[in-house]
Structure 1
Amino acid sequence: MTDTDLDCSQLELSKENIQPIRQGRKASALCNALDRDHQNKLQSERHEFEKEIRAYTGDDPLSVWYRYVLWVEQNYPTGGVQGNLFKLIESCFNTLYHNGEFDEKYINDERLLKLWVKYATLSPCPLEIYQTLYAKNIFTELAKFYEIWAWELEQRGNVKKAYSIYSDGCQRKAKPVELLEVAFGKFLARVAKMTLEGIGCRGKWK
């Protein structure tokens, strides 16, 4: 048995503790993260990210934070105190948030949206987060914002509100327009299928 086989055998034993992420993880990162001997190296790399953030003087601080969050997500799959992704993303937001609002250039930045989606996923109240962002006119030009928000509503049975969100995004011509139109079409097909199968949308159209 090779060292790699030995390390990766821990993966099967630890699957129940691994937090899933939308884009998936590299198998090598999972194996390394579960190897205690690898933790010192991770800690060193983490310190390097934090040094880079403190020393950054450019005009796009989000770029460093974004790389840092993705790195933590890949290398700390079990979450917990070491990963602490929720707090890390909060720190990113606090750095970018000035005088009660984000810099104008980030209002419809897809990287920032992805961080907010990760944050909402880890939060007990994701719908409130999306509603607040919308009220502040943040991400309202991005099709993905409406798609993800509507999906969360649909999963909770609020089909009527999900329909409203899709419609609003289409009326605003959120970009890319084609992405939202396709997502909206699939949503309508799912609703029609539920109706035809007799599941009934009466209780869901609330």
Structure 2
Amino acid sequence: MRDLQDYSTDVGQDNDSRKRKLDEFEWETSKENVIPLKRGRNVSDLNKALRAHDSFQTKMRLDDEVKAKEDAIKAYDGDDPLADWVEYVRWLEVKMPEDTRKKFTVLEQCTRALKDNPRYHNDMRYIRLWIQYADLVSNPKDIFKYLYQNKIGECVSLFYIGWAYVLETMANYPQAHKIYLKASQKYVM
């Protein structure tokens, strides 16, 4: 017969094992709050991020990191400010996957901050940020109209694909076809 100490060790190991298994599926309890990414997510990073938000200290640390990233963007004096914005958005997607409002705000700030810089008008990174922003607004068609009117993305195929996709989801197939034709006339497809 096993003694009580052996049994308590087994129970402790079973509890640890169950906790690890539950931690592996942390995202299952929060997936409706996580913004899906077209490129997918690393499940272990996602689980870590979701577990981390349970702790007050972790929230404070994340707030400090957000402030540091925003301060770095404001103080940036290099030749590619877009790189910091792109890195910040990716960081948000990993560290704060359920915070749609924060991502929306950062995308809006970035797209507005660089909209008058012609250097970025046909930069694929910038167009991707605009498309991510359009994915979060209620009427993405207006975003694409704005971009087209301001010649942002006019030489980037992803711009036309995104615009046509939005029109197709609205069942506006004739207009989507026109966008594809416009893209082929620009030789971007």
The TM-score range, normalised by the shorter chain, is 0.7 to 0.9
The question of 1:17 aligning with 2:7 is answered no
Secondary structure class of the residue paired with 2:25: helix
- Indicate the residue corresponding to 1:148 in structure 2: 162
Whether the 8 Å contact between 1:141 and 1:172 is mirrored in structure 2 is yes
- Taking the aligned partners of 1:134 and 1:164, their CA distance within structure 2 comes to 13
Superposition deviation, residue 132 in structure 1? 1.2
Q: Look up the match of 1:164.
A: 178
Q: Which of 65, 78, 89 is residue 45 of structure 1 equivalent to?
A: 65
Q: Please identify, of 148-157 and 49-58, the stretch whose mean Cα deviation from structure 2 is larger.
A: 49-58
> 1:105, 1:143 → 2: CA distance?
17
Determine helix, strand or coil for the equivalent of 1:34.
Answer: helix
Residue 28 (1) aligns with residue 44 (2): yes
Larger-Rg structure: 2
> Which of 84, 89, 92 is 1:64 aligned to?
84
Question: What is aligned with 2:6?
Answer: none
Structure 1 stretches of 4+ moved >2 Å: 2-10, 37-48, 93-97
Q: Secondary structure at the match of 1:150?
A: helix
Q: Is the 8 A contact 1:7 1:34 kept in 2?
A: no
Amino acid of the structure 1 residue aligned with 2:142: E
The reply on whether 1:54 has 2:45 as its aligned counterpart is no
Structure 2 equivalent of residue 85 of structure 1: 103
Q: Which one of 91, 114, 133 corresponds to residue 147 of structure 2? A: 133
Alpha carbons 1:53, 1:61 under 8 Å: kept:
yes
Deviations 1:119-145 (A, max 9, x none): 000000101110111011110001111
Query: 1:26, 1:45 → 2: CA distance?
Result: 21
CA contact (8 A) 1:150 1:162 kept: yes
Provide the rounded CA distance (Å) in 1 between the counterparts of 2:112 and 2:175: 30
**Cα deviation, residue 3, structure 1:** 6.1
SS in 2 for 1:57: coil
Task: Give the secondary-structure state (helix, strand or coil) at the position aligned to 1:141.
Answer: coil
Percent same amino acid at aligned positions?
36
TM-score under structure 2 normalisation?
0.81
Equivalents in 1 of 2:103, 2:150: separation in Å? 24
- Which amino acid counterpart does residue 159 of structure 2 have in structure 1? F
Q: CA separation in 1, counterparts of 2:114 and 2:89? A: 14
Residue of structure 1 in register with 2:113 after alignment: 95
SS at match of 1:20: coil
Alignment RMSD (CA, Å): 1.8
